[in-house]
Amino acid sequence: MPTEQFMKLKVDRRNSIIKSITRQFATKDYQDVSVRDLADEAGISRGSFYIYFKDKEDAYITSIQSYRERLERDLFNIYMKATSIKHVVMEVFDYFTHLSAFEHSFLEKISNNMSMEVSDIIATAFDKFGEAIHEYLENYLKNNGVIITPEIKEQLNLRREILFSLLIASLVEMALNRATLEQAREALEKKIEIVLKGILTDCPTDFIK
């Protein structure tokens, strides 16, 4: 984690430094990034770098945590604006398939240097998305007069896991060039409808729209 001295900097200055070090980790392999590179990119001295961060790994983790926080905010905004569970999943699919080249590069570099700590940071963001799906499902049913019994809760948990797996599988297919954007999106829509149909016999029909 960044030092207390770093946290005392003005928000704009902190963000500028994090953006700069993120740019280094997005454009180079981790092992090819030096502390000098990070300091020069951020416009600070090597001495100042060590005042703000413990070492290169600390700066790396800080850049990933910053990206995770933005990812969580973006996913939360999608969740808040969604009109249905299908809308939630498809909006998240569109979000990840329209990332900038810079973000794609950063995520690729992260995956190539996936330590346990890094893995936990990324997993946290997706766990929150999974929780959002579950909350959306449960609140939607409650608002339509459906009593959430243990059996229904089990159905919700199962479908949340399936929807999450479908989303990840579709994104992987895109990344591996096994499907075009249109093909992956169309297939995902159909799979979502299959999962949500029959979730409950008394579930409103617009639940899957």
Q: What CA–CA distances, in Å, run from 191 to 47, 96, 140?
A: 54, 18, 20
| Model confidence pLDDT, tens digit, residues 8-43 | 999 999 999 999 999 999 989 889 999 999 999 999
User: What is the C-alpha to C-alpha distance for residues 122 and 155, in angstroms, rounded to an integer?
Assistant: 26
Mean pLDDT of the chain: 82
- Helices of type H across 8-84: 11-27, 35-42, 46-52, 56-81
Tell me if 209 sits within 8 A of 89, measured CB to CB: no
Per-domain boundaries in the chain = 4-208
Name the residue type at position 156: L
Question: CATH: 3.20.80.10, 3.40.50.2300, 1.20.272.10, 1.10.357.10. Which one for 4-208?
Answer: 1.10.357.10
Checking if the pLDDT of 209 tops 60, the result is no
Tell me if 30 sits within 8 A of 113, measured CB to CB: yes
User: What is the C-alpha to C-alpha distance for residues 92 and 98, in angstroms, rounded to an integer?
Assistant: 10
192 or 156, which is more confident:
192
| Model confidence pLDDT, tens digit, residues 98-149 | 888 888 788 777 777 766 666 666 666 667 667 777 777 777 777 777 777 8
Tell me if 84 sits within 8 A of 207, measured CB to CB: yes
User: What is the C-alpha to C-alpha distance for residues 57 and 1, in angstroms, rounded to an integer?
Assistant: 9
Share of the chain above pLDDT 70, in %: 86
Look at phi and psi of residue 198 and say left if phi exceeds 0, alpha if psi is from -120 to 50, else beta.
left
